[in-house]
Amino acid sequence: MSAEQTATEAFDAIDVIRAKRDGGAVPEPALRWMVDAYTRGYVSDAQMASFAMAVFQRGMQRDEIRVLTDAMIASGERMSFAALGKRTVDKHSTGGVGDKITLPLAPLVAVFGVAVPQLSGRGLGHTGGTLDKLESIPGWRAALSNDEMFAQLQGEVGAVICAAGSGLAPADKKLYALRDVTGTVEAVPLIASSIMSKKIAEGTDALVLDVKFGNGAFMQDIDRARELARTMVELGTDSGVATTALLTDMNAPLGRAIGNANEVRESVEVLAGGGPGDVRELTMALAREMLALAGQPDADVEAALDDGRAMDRWNAMIRAQDGDPEAALPIARETHVVTADRDGVVTRMDALPFGIAAWRLGAGRARAEDAVIHAAGIDLAVKPGETVTAGQPLFTLSADDEGRFARALDALEGAFAIEDASTGSAAHVEARPIVRERITAEGTAS
């Protein structure tokens, strides 16, 4: 690059890196320049990787995180739903094992006349992707134009689950890929700005965050999860988006299905008024939170699940995106049942190993370009706290290739425990509340 081209740049990446490396706050103009210069290729991957590591080690002040987020938003388009003439509210989950909540949640909230623009992603590693699950449904498509999305939100459906356009926060897409290969994914300022830049750019009026903690979550420690939740709530609030967060438990898989097609089946059970208690509980908790932000704190979400209104809205949403809600979902060619080796109480089922096992069965992907096997996954016959007898099924592995079972079973070695019902630990296994805390701009409540 010529000296003349260099002279046109307002700042130097090395100065920005040094400021953060030495524990200082990066001035707003310099931080905005850093994001812009990286997006257009002037700042190199090596320089941005150094800056990300400095942030990982030194952290960021609240104003710095706000500026970083705003700069990433400014790198692309910003949507607006003002023309819809009704409130919009979205939900974001930090990801977990068996987390299919978006599927029943979006149509449930839409029952009450609130628009739900749920821009979702695909899975990578042990956490499943909402779009992968829905693509189990024959004909359903994730890619919608802005006009199609607006029409679906404005009409009787009122909810859309689709892929986010490439125009939203392109700086984040570039930085995320870099963080993934430089060991800086876990930095709270970078996680928060990544999530919130896309959600704020989306243009929703309100946002509810499902921030998970536990062995199957991105943030395993509850204190770190709380820090992330507070940071994101602050970012939303500072940007004029009404934002709250729920801290939810991901120490055991959510529900009894882990995969894609089987999680769709479980979601439909919830929409029919049934389904696992934890999935139903979290769906209703998030729906109440979303509707409260939309001005309907007294909405009877339980009635809408039980009387068929949410199911009707689900069917309409799937059909609007060319899917057939009545079509048979994929079924795996091979299954393997794991049974209890003794009588007792199931005291533990660690979420992470079950997520890894489902991934190895083909339900997830190691690289973004990999395909998923929609029929692959795990179905749990029991959950922690339940009594079993020797020989009783604990869970079933499903795959199209029986050669995948060995590595999946390796992942599950030591992932669950059965203890004699008379032992102290077995006697004290209790169903822990799925929602641990609620975090708002005003503070935290248990």
- Secondary structure percentages of the chain, helix, strand, coil, to 5: 45, 15, 40
pTM, rounded to two decimals: 0.92
Q: Residue 355: in which H helix or E strand, if any?
A: helix 351-358
Number of neighbouring beta carbons within 10 Å of residue 322? 11
Kindly tell me if the per-residue pLDDT of 2 is higher than 50. no
Q: How confident is the model at residue 1 (pLDDT cuts 50, 70, 90)?
A: very low
Number of neighbouring beta carbons within 10 Å of residue 253? 28
Q: Residue 267: in which H helix or E strand, if any?
A: helix 261-271
- Identify whether 223 is a catalytic site residue: no
Between CA 195 and CA 212 the distance in angstroms is 14
Residue-by-residue DSSP string for 269-281: HHHTT-S-HHHHH
- What are the residue ranges of helices labelled H in 45-156? 45-58, 62-74, 102-110, 130-134, 146-154
Q: Which residue among the candidates 20, 66, 173, 179 is catalytic per the annotation?
A: 179
- Identify whether 20 is a catalytic site residue: no
Residue 41 confidence (pLDDT): 94
Instruction: Calculate mean pLDDT across residues 8-15.
Output: 91
Print burial letters for 152-173: b (CB count within 10 Å at least 16), e (below 16).
Answer: bbeeebbbbbbebbeebbebbb
Q: Which residue among the candidates 198, 280, 374, 436 is catalytic per the annotation?
A: 198
- Identify whether 400 is a catalytic site residue: no
Residue 428 confidence (pLDDT): 59
Instruction: Calculate mean pLDDT across residues 379-384.
Output: 96
Residue 426 confidence (pLDDT): 58
Contact 224, 185 (CB under 8 A): no
Tokens of 401: 């290739």
Classified by CATH at the fold level, domain 82-327+435-445 comes out as Pyrimidine Nucleoside Phosphorylase; Chain A, domain 2 (3.40.1030)
- Identify whether 280 is a catalytic site residue: no
Kindly tell me if the per-residue pLDDT of 250 is higher than 50. yes
393-433 pLDDT tens trace: 999 999 999 999 999 999 999 999 999 987 756 555 666 78
Mean pLDDT, the chain, rounded, equals 92
56-90 pLDDT tens trace: 999 999 999 999 999 999 999 999 999 999 999 99
263-305 pLDDT tens trace: 999 999 999 999 999 999 999 999 999 999 999 999 999 999 9
Kindly tell me if the per-residue pLDDT of 262 is higher than 60. yes
Separation in Å, CA 222 to CA 59, 316, 428: 18, 38, 22
- Identify whether 145 is a catalytic site residue: no
Which residues on neighbouring strands pair with residue 242, listed in sequence order?
Answer: 206
Residue 7 confidence (pLDDT): 55
Residue 229 confidence (pLDDT): 96
Q: How confident is the model at residue 310 (pLDDT cuts 50, 70, 90)?
A: very high
Classified by CATH at the fold level, domain 334-427 comes out as Aldehyde Oxidoreductase; domain 3 (3.90.1170)
Q: Which residue among the candidates 90, 172, 210, 249 is catalytic per the annotation?
A: 172
Specify the length of the chain in residues: 446
* Structural domain spans, the chain: 3-59, 82-327+435-445, 334-427
**Secondary structure letter of residue 102 according to DSSP:** H
- pLDDT, greater one: 124 or 255: 255
Q: Which residue among the candidates 75, 93, 194, 398 is catalytic per the annotation?
A: 194
Task: Decide: residue 325, CB within 10 A, 0-12 exposed, 13-18 middle, 19+ buried.
Answer: middle
Q: Which residue among the candidates 32, 87, 92, 199 is catalytic per the annotation?
A: 92
Kindly tell me if the per-residue pLDDT of 6 is higher than 60. no
Q: Residue 13: in which H helix or E strand, if any?
A: helix 13-21
CATH number assigned to the domain with residue range 3-59, chosen from the 4 options 1.20.970.10, 1.10.230.10, 3.50.50.60, 1.10.20.10? 1.20.970.10
107-143 pLDDT tens trace: 999 999 999 999 888 766 667 789 999 999 999 999 9
Residue 430 confidence (pLDDT): 64
Between CA 137 and CA 100 the distance in angstroms is 14
Instruction: Calculate mean pLDDT across residues 142-156.
Output: 93
Backbone angles phi and psi of 213, in degrees to 5: -135, 160
Residue 438 confidence (pLDDT): 97
Residue 424 confidence (pLDDT): 57
Domains 82-327+435-445 and 334-427 share a fold: no
Residue 5 confidence (pLDDT): 47
